[in-house]
Structure 1
Amino acid sequence: MNSVKLLAAAAGLALAACSQPATDSASGDSEAAAEARVVNVYSARHYSSDAAIYAAFTESTGIEVNLVSANGDQLIERVRADGERSPADVIITVDAARLHRAEQAGLFASADYSDLASGIGANLIDPEGYWVSFAKRSRVIAYSNDRVQPGEIATYEDLADPRWEGRICVRESGNAYNQSLLAAMVAHLGEDGAQAWAQGIVDNMAREPQGGDRTQINGIAAGECDVAILNHYYYAMMVNSEDPAAQAAAAAVTLFFPSQETTGAHVNVSGAGIAVNAPHPEEARELIAFFLGDYAQRAFAEMTNEIPVRGDVSWDNPTLAAMLPFTEDSLNVSELGDHNETAQRIFDRVGWQ
């Protein structure tokens, strides 16, 4: 089932769920109210896949989803400020550093996700049981088909070589994905090694950091740079786009997963945890289980080009399938949050805007 069909099916499920016949008696109404189940989801994600998943979850379980959306930092602050009064049952956010931030703020209840996470890599589960990953994205390298030869770059470290001076496009240091990539470099190389790498990237930039990940691909296509750092799914979005300009830009570059013979390609995640003051913890756990189930894992691959955390789920997305498999970094993603502050200090020191 392709992404359009998957979303349409979910929309049909939602419509069916909203079209159940009403009870005829007052006692029937009171019984229905007493049995009504809800889950309050606070999410920093804004993807169509999630809307489809919520609709399918309600149809499957009868549990209504009340969704509150905000960006990652605003979401964390809102739940923190509400304290014990917070109605949040599930907290969902993007990037391991934000998951770490929410954990440090005491927003997650410690839980055992082992029974839900069969087949999921141990590096994708918080060691303390505060959250579990449900979708992956890799920070990869794209290069010009015309100005870079295959094999000229093999690792992230290669980008710091002076031969790439004036040839790299990348986003600003405030971007969470760049922060987590540098945090991974801290874990692997130590603070001094990571700083030397970041300084090399700054020295090799073709322009000031700017825009989003698609901006970097467009920069290569326009000849502004030869190499860029980006998340894999932005490339897939451009390949699958109905915009001819986006398709042409994607066709001008080659994307690859670096460091296959060393650390493996850097991986970041979207994750979820049960809120510490959740009024509906059982429903929260059911929703997280659903996010790790076949339907949701397929939706992530087909609708948002994310990589499912479970490798045993079938899905249909030729563009994503063409990128896989790859060797990923086995570093526990919780360490990305542990080293986030160090990464930010390094960015400041080297002048990565």
Structure 2
Amino acid sequence: MMLAASGAMAAEVNLYTTREPKLIQPLLDAFTQKTDVRVNTVFVKDGLLERVRTEGAQSPADVLMTVDIGNLLDLVDGGVTQAIQSSTMDAAIPAHLRDPEGHWYTLSLRDRVAYVAKDLDIKSLTYEDFADPRWKGKVCIRSGQHPYNTALIAALIAHNGEAATEAWLRGVKANLGRPATGGDRDVARDILGGICDIGIANAYYVGRMKNAEPGSDNYRWGEAIKVIRPTFKASGGTHVNISGASVAQHAPNLEQAKQLLEYLVSDEAQQLYAQANYEYPVKAGVALDPVVASFGTLEIDPLPLDKIAQQRKLASELVDKVGLNQ
């Protein structure tokens, strides 16, 4: 779709997103129907920061949307965002899930949970438990360098320190039932296949699998597992990563950008996040997808997301140091 130029009509807003457009299109369509503001979407798989920097003051981007708090903070640190003030956003989003200065906001949550063989008699886990020798040869996980896992490892560093987290990684490596590779749904697949008993993956994939066509591979994988939300021993909370957004530094349609963000935390949009994508709403009181609701109450780790993001580089270095992916 063609982007509007800097002198665009008031009824447009330009969205640069690293999210697959089909995942958010229902929300954008609903926004346009409600407001008559057209959303021009550009999918930027890689290099979002570099693209906006290169475009400079002439950039048509109004809203920058990403997955993973680290990617979002990279945009802020890269100087391509601007702060906005919105009582609507502040009321909808808990303080530790937004920037106090208004540079970034969480739109939905992705909790990192345990996939557990459905017949296994276990009702609770901590993240630290994945390094317990009792699980030797029974753990599955995707690459330690994937942003989902570096964020979790960064949170462990923030809670427990570098030395304890390195020891945890070595314990997890010793417990692996197969190399740390593949995707989150492969964890469920390999539990069904008897390769492992437990694994770490995102909760929203379970919504996709259990709502898949009966008899399909995804459905069978989803039916092979149950979900337990692990917690950190230090906080008693579950790790979440986010999808989020910022307003671009040179947004030509500033009011429409703010309007879009405020819509995305409305009850209507948060319901769409929950029902269409099986993500956890950032706004309290929004009905969940029945599969996600069956996981029980999500008690979010209260550690501020920026504190976690500060440890990403060290998390990546520790993954290589212990050879988790080897």
TM-score, normalised to structure 2, is 0.92
Moved more, 45-54 or 326-335: 45-54
- Counterparts in 2 of 1:92-107, with a 5 A limit? 92-107=65-80
Correspondence 1:1-353 to 2 at 5 A: 36-46=10-20, 48-71=22-45, 73-146=46-119, 148-151=120-123, 154-244=125-215, 245-259=217-231, 262-314=235-287, 317-353=289-325
What RMSD, in angstroms, separates the aligned Cα atoms of the two structures?
1.8
SS across alignment from 2:301 = coil
Whether the 8 Å CA contact 1:130–1:274 is kept in 2: the answer is yes
The answer (yes or no) to whether the contact 1:113–1:132 under 8 Å persists in 2 is no
1:16 aligned residue: none
1:253-292 deviations in whole A, cap 9, x for unaligned?
1211012774311011100110011111111000000111
2:210 maps to amino acid: V
Give the 3-state SS of the residue equivalent to 2:106 in structure 1.
strand
Q: Is the 8 A contact 2:21 2:43 kept in 1?
A: no
Q: Is the 8 A contact 1:154 1:259 kept in 2?
A: yes
The change in CA–CA distance for 1:344 and 1:114 in structure 2 (over 3 A counts) is: farther
Distance in 1 between residues matched to 2:9 and 2:53, nearest whole Å: 30
2:108/2:242 contact within 8 Å kept = yes
Per-residue CA deviation, residues 66-112 of structure 1 (Å, 9 max, x unaligned), is 100022x4222221222222211000000111111111111211222
Q: What is the rounded CA distance, in whole Å, between the counterparts of 1:97 and 1:113 in structure 2?
A: 23
Q: Distance in 1 between matches of 2:89 and 2:132?
A: 44
Aligned CA distance change for structure 1 residues 145 and 34 (closer, same or farther; 3 Å): closer
Q: TM-score, normalised by structure 1?
A: 0.85
Q: 1:111 and 1:205, CA in 2 relative to 1: closer, same or farther beyond 3 A?
A: same
Distance 2:64 2:276 in 1: 21
Q: CA contact under 8 A between 2:117 and 2:197: conserved in structure 1?
A: yes
Distance in 2 of aligned mates of 1:348 and 1:49: 32
Contact residue 89 and residue 280 of structure 1 kept, 8 A: yes
State the percentage of identical aligned residues.
36
- Paired residues of 1:98 and 1:337 also in contact (CA < 8 A): no
Runs of 5+ consecutive residues of structure 2 not aligned to the other structure: 1-6
SS of match in other structure, 1:91: strand
Is the Cα contact below 8 Å between 1:47 and 1:304 reproduced in 2? no
Q: Secondary structure at the match of 1:323?
A: coil
Return the alpha-carbon distance in structure 2 between the equivalents of residues 308 and 233 of structure 1.
11
Letter in 2 for 1:57: F
